[in-house]
Structure 1
Amino acid sequence: MARFSRKGTTKILFAETIASTSYLPTAAEMTSATDYTKKIAAVDGFALENQEIETPDMDSTFVSKIPGDDQASDSSLTFYEDDTTDTIETDLAKGTTGFVIICRKGNVAAAKGMDVYPVRVASLSAPISADNEAAKLMVKFSITDRPLLNATVPTGP
């Protein structure tokens, strides 16, 4: 098994539209998506979680569980704030809808491990800090539908 670091490998893009109802983007949609990878300081969430259901019974003191509903975890991207442009503030304004595309093993045609999350921007805030750190913007996303997980990066024109 070859190991790798997410930093320097994983790519994170934002697409305004994806035509497929399965959320699998075309190569052209991937090309037109905005690559935010270099501007991202932190990633939180972007995972599917299951709310298990407890199923205790009178025969045992052990409480068993069964799978319940799936839901997306609270998800956000923290960006480095640019002191000359407001591209992120404009492109990812509150209410913006689109798709966060995470290419876990790189944005390389035929690479495995692409996740596509249909999203709406819930909030965009600029946390103020007196710490010795770069200025940042936090964009929180609502995941609006079941994401496409572990797909293959599209090939072709």
Structure 2
Amino acid sequence: MPEITTQKRFMRRGVTKFFFLTTLAGLTSGPTRVELTAGTDLSAKISDVEGFALENSPIETPDMATDYTGSIPGEDKAENSALTFYEDQVDDSVETLLPKGAEGYIVILRKGDVPQSKSMDAFPVRVGSRSATYTVAAEPAKFKVSFNITAKPALDLPVPATA
């Protein structure tokens, strides 16, 4: 097996992009450049990310021939996910975009906007809740938007070419 000898490592902050799209023609093929451009880039307003990962629930397969219990892949599941945003004292565009019940797609460009890189994930979502976070600590005001993942996400999609 060939060895991977060089690797360009990076930090997600400042590179990874998060978009909210209200429409997406084909989840399995991913958004087109037009759909991505029509979406809202949330990246600069996000302070924290939770979830947005596909997990598998293995099924145990014990048998009488051994005292070891093996397993096989079971159902896939995406845990509920959330984005925490900085609250803007004047502008409420994110709150307007993401009210409780809003449906759309969170599209993540993991390695940034690098056309043809197979590093784009699309999660069909519904906003489950949106609530302010309160603290007496000296930190920026924030609010959290919780998302339910409504269908199987499409992972490792190619980032669409630029026009």
**Same fold? TM cut 0.5:** yes
Aligned-partner SS, 1:69: strand
Residue 23 of structure 1 contacts residue 116 of structure 1 at CA under 8 Å; is this kept in 2? no
Find out whether 1:56 has 2:62 as its counterpart. yes
1:156 is displaced (CA, Å) by 4.5
Gapped regions of structure 2 (runs ≥ 5):
1-6
Answer yes or no: is 1:145 the counterpart of 2:151.
yes
The aligned counterpart of 2:108 is 102
Local SS of the residue matching 1:125: strand
Cα shift readout 1:52-99 (whole Å, capped 9, x = no counterpart): 111112222211111100010221101001111211111000000000
Deviation at 1:111, TM superposition (A): 2.6
Give matches, 1:7-156, under 5 Å.
7-22=13-28, 24-156=30-162
CA RMSD after TM alignment? 1.2
TM-score by length of 1: 0.95
With normalisation by structure 2, the TM-score equals: 0.92
The runs of at least 4 aligned residues of structure 1 exceeding 4 Å deviation read none
1:2 aligns with 2:2: no
Name the count of aligned residue pairs: 157
- Between the aligned partners of 1:116 and 1:21, the Cα distance in structure 2 is 7
Aligned residues with identical type, % of pairs: 48
